[in-house]
């Protein structure tokens, strides 16, 4: 799994690639929570995620909750088909702000 963070248009864009599972989700959680503690707007690019399990979803939910608490934006962008299936099964596609592209997520 690769995690890349960059600032773009006043928000932090976090690009996740590979598999986000029980072994790898703590690194994702740590990175997202650090950004949330700074009350940053965050767009998470999930286009390169081949697999995500419940621990990965839990990391996203926790970051989303922190963003709401801090009045920050938290957007999932360019969600890959495997990740979208998991979000839909958990009915989280109705909870998260979703954008088709990172550019759209930055404007959301």
**HEC sequence for 33-86:** HHHHHCCCCEEEEEEEEEEECHHHHHHHHHHHHHHHHCCCCEEEECCCHHHHHH
Looking only at the bridges linking them, the beta strands covering 42-52 and 11-20 are parallel
What was the pLDDT predicted at 77?
A: 99
Give the tens place of pLDDT for each residue, 73-84.
999 999 999 999
What's the structural domain count of the chain? 1
How sure is the predictor about 1, in pLDDT bands with cuts at 50, 70 and 90? Answer: confident
CATH number of domain containing 20: 3.30.750.24
What residue numbers bound the domain in which 9 lies? 2-107
Query: For residue 36, what pLDDT band results from cuts at 50, 70 and 90?
Result: confident
Calculate Rg over the CA atoms of the chain. 12
Residues in the chain: 108
> Is residue 4 within 8 Å of residue 14, measured between CB atoms?
yes
């Amino acid at each position: 799994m690769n995690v890349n963070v960059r600032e773009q248009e006043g928000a932090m864009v976090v690009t996740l690639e590979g598999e986000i599972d029980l072994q790898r989700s703590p690194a994702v959680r740590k990175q997202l929570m650090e950004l949330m503690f700074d009350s940053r707007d965050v767009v998470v690019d999930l286009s390169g995620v081949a697999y995500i399990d419940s621990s990965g979803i839990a990391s996203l939910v926790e970051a989303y909750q922190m963003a709401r608490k801090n009045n920050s934006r938290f957007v999932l962008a360019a969600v890959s088909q495997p990740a979208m299936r998991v979000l839909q099964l958990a009915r989280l596609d109705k909870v998260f702000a979703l954008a088709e592209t990172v550019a759209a997520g930055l404007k959301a």
